Amino acid sequence: MSRLNSGGGRLRLPGPDLGLELCGIRLAHPVINGSGTFDAIAARRAFGEQLGERFPFSMFVSKTITPEPRAGNPPPRLYETPSGMVNSIGLPNKGLEGFLLDDLPELARLEVPLCVSVMAPSREGFATLVERVGRRDEVAAIELNVSCPNVKSGLIVGEQPSESRALCEALRPLTDKPLIVKLTPNCADPAAVAAAAAEGGADAVSLINTLRATGLDPATLRPWLGAGSGGLSGPAVRPIALDQVRRVAAAVEIPVIGMGGIESGADALAFLAEGASAIAVGTASFRDPLAADRIRAELAGELAERGLERLPPVPLASTST
């Protein structure tokens, strides 16, 4: 593996040009992180300055923040499943003020564009977050998390096209930063929600968030997770994610950021082929904090093997069915 770790995201690599522009943001390659699956601040404590030198993501997406601080859900928060895991973390975060004060300056030290993921229980809450975060120069983009299965927010925005359109229309005027809507897989027709978000003014959509799931403690037959249930991620969900990315990409003109169980360059290429402009690595980073770097290198290899000099400009999949 380390053989493949050829120099991290910042270096210009030999072989295919993986560079792209996403909502006007220049990215060195299409591999970013899934919100809440990589904490650059904690990782700097664990890995020291090497983190910056070999930072594997071309854009950094923060863990979702909320207007008020949240402690998160009671433990246990993790349950391992066949080829995946269920989490019930529950969006622990310092809240808007704490984030702007403590975390944002830290994250700004990263040499890649910064995307801040936000979530609120109300439209007003979202408005405050978008306005306050959008004002900061360190921030390149904002992701609207309308799809976390681990918080009971009054909103079911993510499940309903009309709600998604309305939210985007309300938030669009509040910032000129790109707005990325993070879609839920827990609905009948993600493509309809994506299309509505686009109509409402979203600049991009990202998917999938985790699938509602649970597991029992074999000893007690009670739900293992402190919160009772959580969200499934990892390779187990990849075929579901790939199908949803494909349907969404076929339904919208705006860029799609694809994720869900991506573990290899071949996986990443499949999502790009199905219409994603960029892909995110989540759970795979837990197995290897540099997984994204390996995936980026493998992706370059996959393109080179196919004699491609750059990323597929048109979704290959659009011609395939």
Partner 1 sequence: MTDRIPAPFGRRSCEVVANTATGGYRIVSALDREGPEPLAGQFYMLATDGWGGPGGRPYLPRAFSVAEAEPGEGAVRLDFLLEAVGPGTSRLAALALGERLLLTGPLGRPFSKPAELLSGADGAVLVGGGIGIAPLAILRRSLADAGVPQRVLLGFRDRAHSGGLELFRCSEVRTASEDGHSGHQGYVTDLLSVVLEGDDAAGAVVYACGPPAMLEAVRVLCEARGIACELAMETPMACGFGSCFGCAVPLAGGGYMRLCVDGPTVNAAEIESALVAGSGHT
> Active-site positions?
148
CB 99, CB 125: distance < 8 Å: no
CB 18, CB 30: distance < 8 Å: yes
**Closer residue to its own copies (CB): 8 or 261:** 261
164 counts as binding ligand FMN under rule CB under 6 A? no
Which 102-161 residues touch ligand FAD, going by CB under 6 A? none
From the list partner 1, ligand FMN, its own copies, none, which binds 173 (C-beta under 5 to 8 Å, kind-based)? none
**Closer residue to ligand FAD (CB): 70 or 77:** 77
Site track 133-162 with ligand FMN (rule: CB under 6 A), x = hit: ------------x--x--------------
Count helices and strands (H / E) in the chain.
Answer: 11, 14
128 counts as binding its own copies under rule CB under 8 A? no
315 counts as binding ligand FMN under rule CB under 6 A? no
* 103-140 core/surface letters (b: 16 or more CB in 10 A; e: else): bbeebeebebbbbbbbbbeeeebbbebbebbbeeeebb
From the list its own copies, partner 1, ligand FMN, none, which binds 75 (C-beta under 5 to 8 Å, kind-based)? partner 1
Of 113, 148, 150, 159, the residue at the interface with its own copies (CB under 8 A) is 159
In a 10 Å sphere around its CB, with 0-12 CB exposed, 13-18 middle and 19+ buried, how is residue 237 labelled?
A: buried
> H helices within 220-283, ranges in order?
238-251, 265-273
80 counts as binding ligand FAD under rule CB under 6 A? yes
From the list partner 1, ligand FAD, its own copies, none, which binds 169 (C-beta under 5 to 8 Å, kind-based)? none
282 counts as binding its own copies under rule CB under 8 A? no
304 counts as binding its own copies under rule CB under 8 A? no
**CA-to-CA distance for 110 and 245, rounded, in angstroms?**
29
Least Cα distance to 195 among 247, 140, 251, 270 occurs for 251
